[in-house]
Chain A
């Protein structure tokens, strides 16, 4: 059909355009030039011979993985008449809401600057640079005075913004109708219901083996675990991203997880990547940013206090400080509804040649941001690889958890999905909690914004994040949140206040994620 053909050629053109600037392109070119020496490459059939060579030597697979990665991350090209803001976020009122939220954040940061009389950014004097370089591997021992700094915002501030989100074209009247939203989210986004979720998460079904359920000590490993590990090793040997993504839907064996995630995210540690990380490290040494103090404060408040993650404190600084200075992250703003904050070099206000983004990666961290990195420290010990994995996880998934958008994996859709699931399948519980002034989203929001990091035990969290990678979607966070409420429903029905409800759900560290998900999706009588 004409339309599909022209769509396909547009997608191909876009992907080629993106890959042309990548490392892989340069490597393929080098390989192609080098292959001209080979006897089997003839000039008359140059194109076919080189293609054959790529197929045999494994370079075609690398290209396939890169293309698959692009398809997973970038949204499909939209209508040619659609302006770039439409690609970031199609709904105008959501773009406006995101804009006002960003303005509030900027104002908050600016007022912090003026109050504390600290510049947003400054060049470090040479002595300070030397000092920082010396203690690069133990920045955690530093105890700067951070008492005056406060986080720019916390998840509960963001929740208030989402609660007040309204579509001006929607009937928001007081009279109850068949579509009145009884939860906190009042925008009518399309979310999946349980039959659709069952189809989407079909590999989590009762008849399919899962790691997290079928590898427990009572189950003999010959039934599922051994075979699953064998298949995992085969997938890694083939180096096929798409196969790895399909495989990991049933969970990843601990020994293979680091490599599998790197394969799915299409990360291979080339010397250029290590050099790039070293360059970022130099940027950290040379320039001091206000955002650094925010990062320090966040790590000290969250990860350092966590029983599982405090050992990784130094790694967290090494990753997050470099992350703030990485301009390649700016690329994700093409499909993120958020926009990077702008500033001007001191004394050059208004001159476009002196306009820069602040921080260089355009991302202002909030309270709990460091928890996105902490679980990854269990898998990767080499700082540049850890950095690459975190950066890719952020530009694929985590950015959606703190920006206002209508995307099905965006936080607004996740909140609505959670509330709708609870309301539809646990109506008594929902009604009871609402009556006592304990709207369920107020409790589960912080779990979803942090992708459950810091709330679940680490092995359970990694099993959950396996599925996020496998399904390329964050919807599982909302399903798990609803499953947790379903699990503790009996206790929750007895509480009479928000504080008591919070207490019932305060400790999730004993929960087993996969059985909860399986029961909620496939075994609950509706």
Chain B
């Protein structure tokens, strides 16, 4: 049977024991590990003639009460005029800050689509994709000598006639930054040639 891993977050162990951990003598006999499912960040889909969208989620509240349905989006308008084509085939993203409830500990998601106009033969949403919070950008590890600079010694006395070295170094740094920016930029302009090596002899147009 094939299987796919479910993304989840495993918390650190918590010991359950009677009394204070530090003062009592014995070792703990019970440990608890909590596993949580990540909170939903974004719901993305392509609309197909749906006019209004509501979303309900079934959330896990606590161990004893049964999970209940909560509305997190009510009558979100996808088509300003349900009888006309505006917004009918648009790509839509819904983010967690637009939701009425917290999107953590979600068990099930229910999308309720409404299209009041009788003119359309069918309506749905396509290419539904759900995203969670991505990893934060990896922290850079700097080499030791950058993050822990050596304490400065007394700078050597300035020689007459030469510019101040710290000023020169800051100017050079700025110029270097400018050249790096220019090098990194690239444009999407065309070259302006329509022929291939000076040749533009064509017979027929292609249909593909």
A69 touches B (CB below 8 Å):
no
23 pairs of residues in contact across A and B, judged by CB atoms under 8 Å:
A17-B188, A18-B188, A43-B171, A44-B170, A79-B93, A81-B127, A90-B89, A92-B89, A103-B207, A107-B207, A110-B205, A113-B204, A114-B204, A120-B203, A120-B205, A169-B49, A190-B85, A276-B192, A287-B195, A330-B190, A343-B202, A344-B202, A406-B85
Q: Are B202 and A345 in contact (CB under 8 A)?
A: yes
A269 touches B (CB below 8 Å):
no
Which of B85, B171, B203 interacts with A91 by CB under 8 Å? B85
Which of B80, B84, B174, B186 interacts with A46 by CB under 8 Å? B174
Q: Are A106 and B207 in contact (CB under 8 A)?
A: yes
Q: Which of B30-38, B58-66, B103-111, B115-123 contacts A (4 or more CB under 8 A)?
A: B115-123
Q: Are A344 and B206 in contact (CB under 8 A)?
A: yes
- Decide: A90 near B90, CB < 8 A? Known: A103-B207, A110-B204, A171-B120: yes
Bound complex: CA of A354 vs CA of B118, how far in Å?
51
Interface of A is mostly: mixed
Please give the distance in Å from B77's CB to the nearest CB on chain A: 14
Chain A residues numbered 331-390 whose CB sits less than 8 Å from any CB in chain B: 331, 341-346, 349, 353-358, 360
Residue ID in chain B nearest A19 by CB atoms = B187
A121 touches B (CB below 8 Å):
yes
- Which residues on A are within 8 Å of B, measured CB to CB? 2-3, 17-18, 20-22, 43-44, 46, 78-79, 81-82, 86, 90-92, 103, 106-107, 109-110, 113-114, 119-123, 167-171, 177, 179, 187-190, 276, 279, 283, 287, 325, 327-328, 330-331, 341-346, 349, 353-358, 360, 406
Which B residues are in CB contact (< 8 Å) with A355? 206
Q: Are A169 and B194 in contact (CB under 8 A)?
A: no
Chain B residues numbered 68-96 whose CB sits less than 8 Å from any CB in chain A: 80-81, 83-86, 88-93, 95
Q: Are A81 and B194 in contact (CB under 8 A)?
A: no
Q: Are A171 and B89 in contact (CB under 8 A)?
A: no
Q: Are B189 and A22 in contact (CB under 8 A)?
A: yes
Residue ID in chain A nearest B94 by CB atoms = A3
- Decide: A190 near B205, CB < 8 A? Known: A171-B119, A360-B194: no
Q: Are A81 and B195 in contact (CB under 8 A)?
A: no
Residue ID in chain B nearest A20 by CB atoms = B187
Looking at A109, A110, A169, A328, the one whose CB has the most chain B CB atoms below 10 A away is A169
- Count of inter-chain pairs, beta carbons less than 8 A: 143
Please give the distance in Å from A372's CB to the nearest CB on chain B: 22
B201 touches A (CB below 8 Å):
yes
Q: Are B203 and A82 in contact (CB under 8 A)?
A: no
Please give the distance in Å from A420's CB to the nearest CB on chain B: 11
Q: Are B206 and A343 in contact (CB under 8 A)?
A: yes
Q: Are A190 and B86 in contact (CB under 8 A)?
A: yes
Residue ID in chain A nearest B93 by CB atoms = A79
Which of B81, B91, B192 interacts with A328 by CB under 8 Å? B192
B139 touches A (CB below 8 Å):
no
Which B residues are in CB contact (< 8 Å) with A276? 192
- 1/0 per position for B115-157, CB-CB distance to A under 8 A? 0001111110001000000000000000000000000000000
Which A residues are in CB contact (< 8 Å) with B201? 119, 121-123, 345-346
B208 touches A (CB below 8 Å):
yes
Which of B91, B196, B205 interacts with A79 by CB under 8 Å? B91
Bound complex: CA of A236 vs CA of B194, how far in Å?
37
Bound complex: CA of A78 vs CA of B47, how far in Å?
14
Bound complex: CA of A491 vs CA of B206, how far in Å?
50
Which A residues are in CB contact (< 8 Å) with B86? 189-190
Q: Besides A44-B170, A79-B93, A190-B84, 18 other CB < 8 A contacts? A: A20-B185, A79-B91, A81-B127, A82-B91, A119-B202, A122-B201, A167-B85, A168-B121, A170-B121, A171-B118, A189-B85, A190-B81, A287-B195, A328-B190, A344-B202, A344-B206, A345-B202, A346-B203
Which A residues are in CB contact (< 8 Å) with B195? 287, 356
Which B residues are in CB contact (< 8 Å) with A20? 185-187, 189
Bound complex: CA of A86 vs CA of B90, how far in Å?
8
Residue ID in chain A nearest B192 by CB atoms = A327
Bound complex: CA of A18 vs CA of B187, how far in Å?
7
Which B residues are in CB contact (< 8 Å) with A46? 174
Q: Are A188 and B202 in contact (CB under 8 A)?
A: no
Residue ID in chain B nearest A188 by CB atoms = B84
Please give the distance in Å from B85's CB to the nearest CB on chain A: 5
Bound complex: CA of A168 vs CA of B88, how far in Å?
13
Which B residues are in CB contact (< 8 Å) with A90? 89-90
Bound complex: CA of A106 vs CA of B205, how far in Å?
7
Which B residues are in CB contact (< 8 Å) with A121? 200-202
Looking at B85, B171, B174, B207, the one whose CB has the most chain A CB atoms below 10 A away is B85
Which A residues are in CB contact (< 8 Å) with B95? 2-3
B3 touches A (CB below 8 Å):
no
Q: Are A356 and B187 in contact (CB under 8 A)?
A: no
Bound complex: CA of A187 vs CA of B119, how far in Å?
11
Q: Are B83 and A169 in contact (CB under 8 A)?
A: no
Bound complex: CA of A276 vs CA of B195, how far in Å?
16
Please give the distance in Å from B156's CB to the nearest CB on chain A: 23
Which A residues are in CB contact (< 8 Å) with B9? none
Bound complex: CA of A122 vs CA of B202, how far in Å?
7
Residue ID in chain B nearest A111 by CB atoms = B204
- Decide: A123 near B119, CB < 8 A? Known: A2-B97, A78-B91, A287-B195: no
